[in-house]
């Protein structure tokens, strides 16, 4: 490998790593935005006691999370494209250096140790977790359609009984106020 090709390859390896880091930041930001919006809207729906007018907001939550799910998959696809490029460049670098460069040996050793230490979790691609968050919110959004608000018990009519007691201890009169009656008279 000549010096120009080597510089070119290292430049693109560095740029690809930087792009992959930006993609991870983008996935995080999209997920936070989707979760925050969905949570705020769901809170508003609950605060409104699942009024029929909020059904369109439930649909918005569902579509928002479908968008979040698809964005998560697309970002993962772009991330994996960068990783596959890096893997190809590592193989090419290894073939050009005769015996594998020490840095690639150390990378392979670290990957192997990590797979041993985290036997099951190392097999699960991390995008599944990001996508699963959106799926859970979609399910929660769908369940909002079926939640019926509990009926509040009928309030008992308020009434106050007031005894006017004179200073000598004699009860002068008892007045009973029926709040509903007063309200109906005031409304006229």
Residue 94, judged by CB atoms within 10 A of its CB (0-12, 13-18, 19+), counts as middle
CA distance 95 to 103: 14
Q: What are phi and psi of 175, to 5 degrees?
A: -115, 125
70-103: per-residue pLDDT in tens? Answer: 999 999 999 999 999 998 988 888 888 766 677 7
111-147: per-residue pLDDT in tens? Answer: 899 999 998 888 888 888 888 899 999 999 899 888 8
CA distance 182 to 81: 74
CA distance 12 to 5: 11
Q: What are the domain boundaries of the chain?
A: 3-144, 153-188
Angle (CA) 20 1 112, round 5°: 45
Which pTM value belongs to this model? 0.69
């Amino acid at each position: 490998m000549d010096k120009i090709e080597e510089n070119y390859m290292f430049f693109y390896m560095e740029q690809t790593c930087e792009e992959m880091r930006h993609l991870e930041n983008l996935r995080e930001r999209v997920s936070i935005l989707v979760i925050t919006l969905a949570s705020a809207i769901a809170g508003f729906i609950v605060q409104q006691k699942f009024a029929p007018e909020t059904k369109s907001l439930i649909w918005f939550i569902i579509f928002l999370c479908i968008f979040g799910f698809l964005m998560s998959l697309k970002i993962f696809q772009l991330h994996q494209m960068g990783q596959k490029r890096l893997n190809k460049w590592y193989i090419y670098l290894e073939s050009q250096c005769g015996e594998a460069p020490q840095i690639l040996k150390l990378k392979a050793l670290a990957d192997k140790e990590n797979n041993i230490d985290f036997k099951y979790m190392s097999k699960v691609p991390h995008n599944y977790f990001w996508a699963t968050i959106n799926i859970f919110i979609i399910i929660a959004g769908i369940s909002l359609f079926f939640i019926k608000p509990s009926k509040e018990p009928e309030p008992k009519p308020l009434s106050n009984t007031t005894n006017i007691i004179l200073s000598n201890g004699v009860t002068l009169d008892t007045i009973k106020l029926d709040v509903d009656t007063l309200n109906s008279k005031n409304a006229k």
